[in-house]
Structure 1
């Protein structure tokens, strides 16, 4: 059996955890983990470590959290470790050329789309928003571009008709770990050819903003259905009821065309809020009033009175 690769792992959020777990369970030697600095989170603004840091420290792996990865001192730190390969999974910053070419095998990335589709920061969310029925994981040889490197391996998975970005995120994180393990095994055996991307087929997946969640009810119910699922759990889709922001979850397309203006609530009962859209209608099953927790619409209606004809703006 070949000896394991000497790897520096670069990753920060929950999505990267299964990939690191896979490497820790395999034959490879994790020299160090590089992740973003601890951040303030929650209403209490408490400093919290990234999930990848917690896992690395639990296994006694050295953790590096540089404010910048473009310094000579950080480059020298990595060079002293003499890695065979960098494995990058949702690290959060673009790697400079000096780091990409430091290890003999370069750097590979676990990307949550079937490249060249959905290059960028939010590939999972945009796949759901755009109504895709399939996505997957791509193991890519990193280059200086944004997700433009050669494809080493890909694995596809269907997107469920009601699946949210958050649910898909969890599945793809696991698939990423499994695909990475297979790819590194083939890489060691010299059986992992690189295939250049067809750049003419590329699409982008830019970072989302909170403002993108403000629903335009003139869109079709199908488009709204995809948008709400794609923005769940963050930044989430919302509208205004009685001038207060309400976030909407668990949508269902209802083949019902009404004469009501888009955004009009046609029915409010234990089954949900039935709201007119540009084409057909949308039933909302869960809601989060401003300043409160997410809840079933049936629970929400016990404390408020919503009459047909009320508008969501």
Structure 2
């Protein structure tokens, strides 16, 4: 197998780092990295590099951070690297001028079993919707986002105790291995891309906005429990508690049947539990973070706060 294949890697967050590290560990020739521009963070608003940029710096890989993916300067610089193949993991939508540049194409890693859960937040939405399995997919890029011909897929079971953080970790590791497998297959000419069956699209996975995170107590307890798992640890499901905004990280369905409380009302012994009435059933808050405070177990919260 020819590992001299010239690869340009495109990605930004930690999820993409695992794939980049795996390619480097396997000896593939990553000639450049394209990532997001540094973003101001913290109190001092100092520019902070992306996780992928930090990884590229460690390995002395040339870095491109274009503000505009269609600019002539960026396109000329990218072309100068003479990539045979481009690998994309958790990056922006690419213009055709970019993804059509390498002779062996550009493929993307997506954290779902395409064509289901196309979009920016598949890991969150499979949990919010109560799915029992998900997976990772590699596919060649084409015009419409997440619609290109599929190269490889691998399934991953979703466990009852999973949240977005634990599922993210497993899919990141599984996805990294799938990226290496895909590069190996492309390099050896052993790929048979298959068109996606658009009739199998059951769900979309749009970006998570603040309104997505608001808990609606008029929903059943099971539905809210799934929402909390799908948004934990980030960005976090939200509700009001004692007149203050509160993020909820863990919950448990206590009762499926209703009580004398109305939806949105709660009961507590001010020592060990807070139970919210929902449209169907009681939901226990187990771990939370009140605005301006640190994250804590509900028992610790109740020791310092009377409801």
Q: TM-score, normalised by structure 1?
A: 0.94
SS at structure 2 position matched to 1:301: helix
SS at structure 2 position matched to 1:24: helix
Q: Paired residues, what number?
A: 305
Unaligned segments of structure 1, at least 5 residues: 307-313
Q: Which residue does the alignment assign to 2:99? A: 100
Q: TM-score, normalised by structure 2?
A: 0.96
Cα distance change on mapping 1:271 and 1:84 into 2, 3 Å: farther
Q: Which residue does the alignment assign to 1:305? A: 306
How many Å separate the matches in 1 of 2:219 and 2:88?
A: 38
How many Å separate the matches in 2 of 1:266 and 1:25?
A: 54
- Equivalent residue runs for 1:273-284 within 5 Å: 273-284=274-285
How many Å separate the matches in 1 of 2:272 and 2:23?
A: 46
Shift in Å, 1:200: 1.9
Q: Which residue does the alignment assign to 2:144? A: 145
SS at structure 1 position matched to 2:239: strand
> Is the 8 Å Cα contact of residues 210 and 236 (structure 1) preserved in structure 2?
no
Shift in Å, 1:7: 0.2
Q: CA offsets per residue over residues 82-126 of structure 1, 9 Å max, x none? A: 1110100011x2111111111011100011111001111111111
Does structure 1 residue 230 correspond to structure 2 residue 218? no
Q: Which residue does the alignment assign to 1:175? A: 174
Cα distance change on mapping 1:264 and 1:55 into 2, 3 Å: same
Shift in Å, 1:199: 1.1
How many Å separate the matches in 2 of 1:43 and 1:213?
A: 25
> Is the 8 Å Cα contact of residues 288 and 295 (structure 2) preserved in structure 1?
yes
- Equivalent residue runs for 1:61-140 within 5 Å: 61-91=61-91, 93-140=92-139
Q: Which residue does the alignment assign to 1:44? A: 44
Shift in Å, 1:255: 2.4
> Is the 8 Å Cα contact of residues 116 and 198 (structure 1) preserved in structure 2?
yes
Cα RMSD for the two superposed structures: 1.3
How many Å separate the matches in 2 of 1:17 and 1:272?
A: 40
Shift in Å, 1:133: 1.0
Unaligned segments of structure 2, at least 5 residues: none
